[in-house]
A and B are shown apart, each in its own frame.
Chain A
Amino acid sequence: MDLAFMGRTFLTLIEGVPLLLELAGLSLSIGAVFALLLATMRLSGVGVLDWTAQSYIFVFRGTPLLVQIFLIYYGLGQFRPALQEVGLWWFFREPFYCAVFALTLNTAAYAAEIFRGGLLSVPHGQIEAAKACGMSRLQRFRRITLPIAVRQALPAYGNEIILMVKATSLASVITLMEVTGLAHRLIAQSFRAVEVFVVAGAIYLFINFAVTRAILVIEWRLSPHLRQAPEGEAPMKPAPAHARGA
């Protein structure tokens, strides 16, 4: 392997990192809000809402992200006149917006089920205690249900963040020059696939290393109740079996 070449490759590919982070960051944050909405629709007990959310989740989890990206960018491109008419063409003609759109819709479907699991795991008795002291529905959700659900959902959601960082590589198929896109171009110029992809892989690995660490830190800070009591005192009961050690 040509180390000098790999060094130059690294400098080229690293330029794709800001775009990668933008894609992942934007779609994850918009997707999380959308996912919370979908999860509450699933749990609303209202047939139409539940059914709508369920079908949405079924479609977006059941089809490949690559296909979704193609359909949104190339597929909707065929309806250009109609999109121009409703004033949405500026959005769908940009590959960046299309990629964020596809990634958002996709992550929302997965995260919705993760959040739903978290919300369902909140012990009924704790919600009842909140009711019994006069908290309104919104207060109960904000102060009790959501904080407990987030703690339950975090490990699974960490997985989703990592998957999304990697999923941004698919944006290269609609001409976006993030890390994988740049790697493709470099290979076409140099015909040295192994070196280029090894460097690209290492960049993803490093980003995800940082992501995993960050999630661990958040998890640790949110779960003092799963660790030993302060002042070195032993807990009265062994930590529950589902307690995740940090």
Chain B
Amino acid sequence: MTDVAVSVRNLRKSFGALEVLKGVSLEAREGDVISILGASGSGKSTMLRCINMLEIPDDGEVTIGGETIGLERTRRGMRPADGRQVDRIRSEVAMVFQSFNLWSHMTILENVVEAPIHVQKRPRQEALDEGMALLEKVGIADKAKHYPSHLSGGQQQRAAIARALAMRPRVMLFDEPTSALDPELVGEVLRVMRSLAEEGRTMLVVTHEMGFARDVSNRVMYLHQGVVECEGEPQAMFANPESERFRQFISSHR
């Protein structure tokens, strides 16, 4: 069981009367790259956000690296039993957002080293050196002293990926990382993500990029109205989809 990085069991989540997740399960082993596909409103982002407790599930279980996040039921719904456990697990699960969410008052390098220094309490100089190396890796080392507003969307997203990597995360969550980008900027972000996948990082990627899902990930999961409609190896799934809905979905996303 040690090589299971993330396990999600029977996740349920409602917003008011709307049930977004109706019992979703997922298991990611170390080194897995799982693409999560689905139409908007299918619950794929909500599922991702439940993994690091940005949304608190109404029911079900999330286990990261063998440690299950404790939830307790209160009159106003579920809440984490131990806030510090959630903070600690979040520092092992990095997230890349659709809208980048870089901190606007800090330079790119400051964004990258913020959590290593202030959350993980690593030595400042070590964090700065590693931060620069990561910016080098995503190809924006020359922007280290710039502010997020000075960068293009693609550069901001690569900076956000460097910020996520700086946490030395066990798992990386990508929430539609290219959906807010101009078409000509999508490629540079996908290239970085592909190289991370090739390094053997564990990644859960909510995306509309069919090319990435088919060529880079080793598993694909298709959500429809809060349930897993089908999942499996990308080659087999794309070559002859067993689900009619998935077939229609991929043909409308070409």
A interface residues (Cβ-Cβ under 8 A, vs B)? 123, 125-126, 128-137, 139, 143-144, 147-148, 151, 222, 224-226, 228-230, 233, 235-237, 239-240
Contacts and interface: CB of A to CB of B under 8 A. Distances in A.
A124 to B, nearest CB: 9
Contact of A131 (B90, B105, B149, B151): B90
A128 B102 CA distance: 10
Nearest to A144: B103
A126 B87 contact: no
Interface stretch (B24-32, B66-74, B140-148, B230-238): B140-148
B91 A148 contact: no
A133 B103 CA distance: 12
Contact of A129 (B83, B91, B92, B103): B103
B114 A225 contact: no
A225 to B, nearest CB: 4
Contacts of A123: 101, 104
Given A134-B119, A235-B150, A236-B150, A126 B103 contact: yes
B150 A134 contact: no
A147 B105 contact: yes
A147 B147 CA distance: 15
Interface of B: 52, 54, 83-84, 87-95, 97, 99-105, 114-115, 118-119, 145-152, 155, 160, 163, 167
A225 B148 contact: yes
Task: Report the 4 A-B pairs with minimum CB-CB distance, sorted nearest first.
Answer: A134-B91, A225-B147, A129-B101, A125-B101
Contacts of A225: 104-105, 147-150
A117 B101 CA distance: 20
B54 A132 contact: yes
Contacts of B167: 133-134
A126 B102 CA distance: 6
A132 B149 contact: no
Given A133-B167, A225-B148, A230-B145, A126 B101 contact: yes
A143 B118 contact: yes
A224 B147 contact: yes
B90 A132 contact: yes
Contacts of A237: 149, 152
